[in-house]
Structure 1
Amino acid sequence: MHTIWKGSISFGLVNIPIKLHAATENNDIKLRQLHKECHSPISYQKVCPICDKEVKTEEIVKAYEYTKNKFVVLDDEELEKLKKENEDKAVQIIDFVKLEEIDPIYFERSYFMAPDANGGKAYALLRKALKESGKIGVAKIIIRSKEQLAVVRVYKDSLLMETIHFPDEVRNVGDVPNIPDEDTVVKKELDTALLLVDQLTTVFDPDKYTDEYRTALMELIEEKKSGNATVATQEKQPISPSNTTDLMAALQASLDKTKKKKPAPRKRAAAKMKA
């Protein structure tokens, strides 16, 4: 399993060297865009609209747009320094809370935590403490140059870290338009709805839920492959030396032909010019 972050996390005076591994993956089927005429993949270039030219990676800088078309430019050295200054502060469990106190809207992404070298004992200690207390740890950590709020909890036999949104990243529900008044619900309708909920209530089994669209799309792709309904990208043919020679010969012949058609100067006009 690929390591995406390596460092340590601590609670109190206990320091645990760890590695993070992505706990989930996106299994969406990725479709490429091709030119309909020749089936070549479409490429995208970074182009400056003012200079009207392609911009190389080393020519790009980061900036914050504080108002329309007004920017504060930040160079890589400044950002790297800021990152280093905050890295040491971002790996400590600062609170222990109950999981049910955190609304699911805050949860973002899950990571398996594995102990690094000599971290097994401290890892097992934190896992046991969380199990016995029924609590989860709230921590801050920097991942990919971004400070993240996170929770650490037990998942089966491992520790799992889940990044969560900061409060200012969760939008105000009061801004959602057209939310109906709860008082409009009729009791008879509510009783029927509760009966339906009761009939559909079961124990959560994640294995019973599948991505039906992805399955159908993959079946369609396999069907087209089996029926040989495929296309291939055409390679761009370079101009061969023979083609170049032929082109030069054609250009030279055109010049020679033009010279032959050019009218000679009239003798009478030439004589008048000598006089």
Structure 2
Amino acid sequence: MHTMWKGSIRFGLVNIPIKLHTATEDKGIHFRTLHKKCHTPISYQKFCSTCEEVVGNEDIEKGFETENGEFITVEESERKEIEQQFDASGVDILDFVKLDEIDPLYFKKSYYISPQDGGEKAYALLRSALEESKCIGIATFVLRAKQQLAALRIVDQCLVVETMHFYDEVRDVKDVPNVPERIDWSKKELSTALLLIDQLTKPFDPTAYKDEYREAMLKQISSKTTTKAKKKEPKKRATTSTDLLEALQASIDRTKPKEQKKAPARTRKKKESSS
């Protein structure tokens, strides 16, 4: 598993050298923007509407827009000077709280934590302490030039850090329009709703839910790739398309029921016997 950050967990006087690994991955289907005429990927240029010219990277600087539309520039050296005021090498545990006290609205992204060489014992000690106390740690650390608020907890004997939104990043629910305060309903309506919930209630199984949209889109892409390959001879760069087709087809085959996978074999046997 790829290591995307190295540092340490600081817990009182205990220092645990650790590595962070991304716990989730984006499997969404991403499309490139192409020129309709020749299917070449479109590239975008940085253009200044005032000077009416394309701007190179060497002529670009960062600026903060104020409420009245003015821009205050901040030099790279100024940003780095501020970044150096924060220790980017550690996850500092500030407090311990109960997990059910935190609304899931605050959670952002999950990272698995593994100990570096020599940190195994301290890692296991912190894990046991969290298990016994039934608490999670609230910590801060710097990741990708941004200070992160985080929750430190356990998932299947592995420590996990969950980045969180700061309080002022969560919008006030009172600002949501048209939320009804109170509507009268009959006891029968409520009991019927509760009965429906009861019938649909079962233990959570993450494997029971699949991205059906993604599977349908992969199937559509696979069919188009197969059709395109039949129409013309592959070019030198077609190796990538072939690899993609195999990966797409394998993804589709893996999701089919066993009966459907075996059907083509029976069909071939019937054709052979008839011939």
| Structure 2 residue aligned with 1:225 | 225
AA in 2 matched with 1:61: E
* Distance in 2 of aligned mates of 1:187 and 1:84: 62
Unpaired runs of 5+ residues, structure 1, are: 234-275
Aligned partner of residue 184 in structure 1, secondary structure: coil
| Structure 2 residue aligned with 1:115 | 115
| Structure 2 residue aligned with 1:85 | 85
Report matched runs for 1:182-201 at 5 Å.
182-201=182-201
Contact in 2 for aligned 1:149/1:163 (Cα 8 Å): yes
| Structure 1 length-normalised TM | 0.80
* Distance in 1 of aligned mates of 2:124 and 2:78: 38
Report matched runs for 1:1-275 at 5 Å.
1-87=1-87, 91-228=91-228
Contact in 1 for aligned 2:6/2:89 (Cα 8 Å): no
Aligned partner of residue 39 in structure 2, secondary structure: coil
Please state how far the C-alpha of 1:123 moved relative to its aligned partner.
1.0
* Distance in 2 of aligned mates of 1:220 and 1:160: 37
Bigger relative contact order (CA 8 A; separation at least 6): 1
* Distance in 1 of aligned mates of 2:205 and 2:108: 21
* Distance in 2 of aligned mates of 1:13 and 1:27: 40
Please state how far the C-alpha of 1:69 moved relative to its aligned partner.
2.5
Query: Which deviates more from structure 2 when the two are superposed, residues 14-23 or residues 83-92?
Result: 83-92
Aligned partner of residue 85 in structure 2, secondary structure: helix
Aligned partner of residue 82 in structure 2, secondary structure: helix
Please state how far the C-alpha of 1:52 moved relative to its aligned partner.
2.0
AA in 2 matched with 1:166: F
* Distance in 2 of aligned mates of 1:52 and 1:119: 57
* Distance in 2 of aligned mates of 1:68 and 1:6: 41
Query: Which deviates more from structure 2 when the two are superposed, residues 141-150 or residues 175-184?
Result: 175-184
Contact in 1 for aligned 2:7/2:90 (Cα 8 Å): no
Please state how far the C-alpha of 1:110 moved relative to its aligned partner.
0.3
| Structure 2 length-normalised TM | 0.80
* Distance in 2 of aligned mates of 1:192 and 1:182: 19
Contact in 2 for aligned 1:7/1:17 (Cα 8 Å): yes
Contact in 2 for aligned 1:90/1:139 (Cα 8 Å): no
| Structure 1 residue aligned with 2:269 | none
Runs of 4 or more, structure 1, over 6 Å off, are 229-233
* Distance in 2 of aligned mates of 1:61 and 1:186: 62
Question: Taking structure 1 as reference, are residues 43 and 195 closer, same or farther at Cα in structure 2, changes over 3 Å only?
Answer: same
* 1:197-225 deviation line (CA, Å, top 9, x unaligned): 00000000000100000000000111111
* Distance in 1 of aligned mates of 2:62 and 2:196: 54
Aligned partner of residue 24 in structure 2, secondary structure: coil
* Distance in 2 of aligned mates of 1:181 and 1:22: 41
Aligned partner of residue 40 in structure 2, secondary structure: coil
* Distance in 2 of aligned mates of 1:140 and 1:123: 18
AA in 1 matched with 2:76: D
Aligned residues between the structures: 234
Q: Which structure has the bigger radius of gyration? A: 1
Please state how far the C-alpha of 1:90 moved relative to its aligned partner.
6.3
* Distance in 2 of aligned mates of 1:9 and 1:84: 19
Unpaired runs of 5+ residues, structure 2, are: 236-275
Aligned partner of residue 79 in structure 2, secondary structure: helix
* Distance in 2 of aligned mates of 1:45 and 1:186: 61
* Distance in 2 of aligned mates of 1:107 and 1:187: 36
